[in-house]
Amino acid sequence: MPRVSEQQRGTAGLEMARVAEVMVSRPGGASRRGSGYRVGVRHVLTAAHVVEPPLTTLRVRFEADRPGEWTGDAQVVLRSGRADLALLEMTGLPAAAPPVHHTPRYAVLPESDTTLSVTAVGFPRFKLREDPGPVAQGALVRYRDSCHIEGTVSVLSNLREGTLEVAVRPPADEVAPEHSPWEGMSGAALWAGGAIIGLISAHHRSDGLGRLAAVRVQRWYDGLVPAELELLRSCAGLPAQPVPVGSPGSADGPAVPSPRAPSLASLPHTLSMRELKDLVDALTAVPALRRPNGLDTVLEGVDPRVAAHRPRDDRLRYEVYGVLRTCLRYPGTLDRFMEVLRDWEEDSEELRTVDRVAAELAVRHS
């Protein structure tokens, strides 16, 4: 799991260049749109129901019809219906994708008589437009424009549902009787004080056009299993413990401590080469292990049984696979192996890839 340094934790709030349009195709030609936010180099947060299976394609688009426009294919690496939260990973990062230097901040709200100013950007249905196209004369181009909402959250509303009631300026009228004008806004990050406090998740028609519901960040901590939280910490920068809004670490204060690595103690000892392939590939790219005797050096700090019983091979890939399988037979030694590797490698892009892959493996077998 990539450990997020203090330099990577920014103090900026919502950045338009990181607002994602989530585009889903389903079997039979059906499609769905949603919103999201780029929380890392390859990762985007959105609402779980936006990417509910089955899916045929999943893409995320940024800066549509603007000079910096780019689009990437994505896959779902975490999806929790209970928390209505999904983490997407872009499978191929195009050259046009701008760098990401920090993860966003996150905050939870106290259950008190408080009203906060909030903001969000998404792509709701009532923003559908038809304009003349740039090439074909007379042709109309249909697209969905961005919507920047500013509103308030009254914290004590919707406590039973576990959401935040977001009061906003309503659209002028209904788009269609069978559709909410807010369709497509789901997954948009909701911001207060420079921190994400939730994701837009629903429009309850009974609340009127000027009310939206957003799942609280606190619900992520309450509803996700430990391996899922570890994945959010590694890929999205979620703090290990909830941080109250307005406190140090939630917005303009000092960065919160780096998240801890995911525990791999729950992995079954029967994992096959195919199941371990991604982790093996990531480990064999780590510079500390590619050095002469690098693997032996790391194993000196692990349980002696691993060094004694691991198979030896001239090919690093097979040696790493053998070490993993040996560690899985001795509970706790795989976590120890990862700790020692971090001591030798410190921080690198290759190590962050290892941590991300390890966190995903832990989620799949949690």
C-alpha span between 44 and 3 (Å, rounded): 17
* DSSP assignment string, 55-78: -SEEEEEESTTSTT-EEEEEEEEE
pLDDT-derived band at 38 (thresholds 50, 70, 90) equals very high
Task: Extract the runs of DSSP E, i.e. beta strands, from 14-105.
Answer: 19-25, 31-38, 43-46, 57-62, 70-80, 85-90
Question: What pLDDT is stored for residue 260 in this prediction?
Answer: 45
Residue 20 has pLDDT above 90, yes or no: yes
Helix (H/G/I), strand (E/B), else coil: 359:
helix
In this prediction, residues 87-105 reach a mean pLDDT of 90
Tens of pLDDT, residues 114-149: 888 999 999 999 898 877 655 555 566 778 899 999
Average pLDDT across the chain, whole number: 85
For the chain, state the CA radius of gyration: 22
Question: What pLDDT is stored for residue 173 in this prediction?
Answer: 65
Q: Is the pTM of this model over 0.75?
A: no
C-alpha span between 306 and 302 (Å, rounded): 7
Question: What pLDDT is stored for residue 12 in this prediction?
Answer: 60
Residue partners of 246: CB distance under 8 A and separation at least 6: 107, 193
In this prediction, residues 249-277 reach a mean pLDDT of 64
Q: How far is CA 309 from CA 49, 268, 319, 320, in A?
A: 47, 18, 12, 13
In this prediction, residues 72-84 reach a mean pLDDT of 95
**357: phi then psi, degrees, rounded to nearest 5:** -65, -40
For the chain, the 3-state helix, strand and coil shares in percent, each to the nearest 5, are 30, 25, 45
Residue 252 has pLDDT above 60, yes or no: no
* DSSP assignment string, 277-336: HHHHHHHHT-HHHHSTTHHHHHHTTS-HHHHHHS---SSHHHHHHHHHHHHHHSTTHHHH
Residue 253 has pLDDT above 50, yes or no: no
Return the CATH superfamily for domain 16-90. Trypsin-like serine proteases (2.40.10.10)
Where are the chain's structural domains? 16-90, 273-364
Ordered alpha helix ranges (H), the chain: 217-223, 226-236, 273-284, 287-290, 294-299, 304-309, 316-329, 333-345, 349-364
C-alpha span between 355 and 315 (Å, rounded): 23
Question: What pLDDT is stored for residue 4 in this prediction?
Answer: 40
CB 24 within 8 Å of CB 58: yes
pLDDT-derived band at 174 (thresholds 50, 70, 90) equals low
Question: What pLDDT is stored for residue 123 in this prediction?
Answer: 95
In this prediction, residues 268-293 reach a mean pLDDT of 90
Residue 11 has pLDDT above 70, yes or no: no
Q: Which two tokens stand for residue 305?
A: 């049984």
Tens of pLDDT, residues 199-243: 999 999 888 889 999 999 999 999 999 999 999 998 999 998 888
